[in-house]
Amino acid sequence: MSETTRRNFLASTALGAGIAAAQSSPNDVINIAIVGIHGRGQAHIDNFGKIPGVRIAYLCDIDERLFAENVAKIESRHGYRPKTHFDLRKVLEDPEVDAITVATPDHWHAIHTIWACQAGKDVYCEKPCSYTIVEGRRMVDAARKYDRLVQVGLNRRSSPMTRAAMEFVRSGEFGNVYRTKTAIYKGRASVGRERETSIPRGVHWDLFLGPAKYRAFSPSRFHYGWHFFWDTSTTDIGNTGVHSLDVLRWGAKQDVHPVKIHSFGGVYVWDSDQETPNVQNAGFEYADGTIMEVELTNLYSPPFDGDRSSVDVLYTSEGYVSSSGGWKATSGKFIPRDKTSDVGVDETAGNASFPKREYSDGPKIVAPDADRSEHFVNFIEALRSRNRAHLNCEIEDGHLSTALAHLANISYRTGRKLTFDPVTETFPGDDEANSFLTREYRAPYTLPDLV
DSSP annotation of 239 reads I
What CA–CA distance (Å, rounded) separates 385 from 306? 42
pLDDT at 126 over 90: yes
Torsions phi, psi for 26 (to 5 deg): -60, -20
Amino acid at 133: I
65 lies in the same domain as 20: yes
Q: Nearest 5°: CA angle at 125, between 190 and 414?
A: 50
194 and 271 Cβ atoms separated by less than 8 Å: no
Q: List Cα–Cα distances, 8 to 13, 58, 82, 174, 370, in angstroms.
A: 9, 19, 23, 54, 42
Considering the domain boundaries, does residue 281 fall inside one? yes
Higher pLDDT, 19 or 65: 65
Q: List Cα–Cα distances, 252 to 183, 247, 351, in angstroms.
A: 17, 9, 20
227 lies in the same domain as 335: yes
Helix (H) or strand (E) holding 125: strand 122-125
Torsions phi, psi for 311 (to 5 deg): -145, 140
pLDDT at 340 over 50: no
198 lies in the same domain as 123: no
**β-bridge partners, 421:** 426
149 lies in the same domain as 134: yes
190 lies in the same domain as 323: yes
Give the pLDDT confidence of 201-216 residue by residue, as tens digits.
999 999 999 999 999 9
In this prediction the pTM is 0.86
Laid out side by side, the sheet with 260-266 consists of 351-353, 328-331, 319-322, 310-316, 177-185, 291-297, 279-285, 260-266, 418-419
Considering the domain boundaries, does residue 188 fall inside one? yes
143 lies in the same domain as 226: no
CATH code of the domain covering residue 29: 3.40.50.720
Considering the domain boundaries, does residue 447 fall inside one? no
152 lies in the same domain as 168: no
Give the pLDDT confidence of 203-255 residue by residue, as tens digits.
999 999 999 999 999 888 888 888 899 999 999 999 999 999 999 999 999 99
ω into 444 cis (within 30 of 0): yes
Q: Which domain range does residue 134 map to? A: 3-157+365-393
152 lies in the same domain as 174: no
CATH code of the domain covering residue 338: 3.30.360.10
Give the pLDDT confidence of 86-122 residue by residue, as tens digits.
999 999 999 999 999 999 999 999 999 999 999 999 9
289 lies in the same domain as 409: yes
Tell me, what's the pLDDT at 253?
A: 98
261 lies in the same domain as 299: yes
Q: Per the structure, how many domains does the chain have? A: 2
299 lies in the same domain as 406: yes
99 lies in the same domain as 12: yes
Tell me, what's the pLDDT at 360?
A: 33
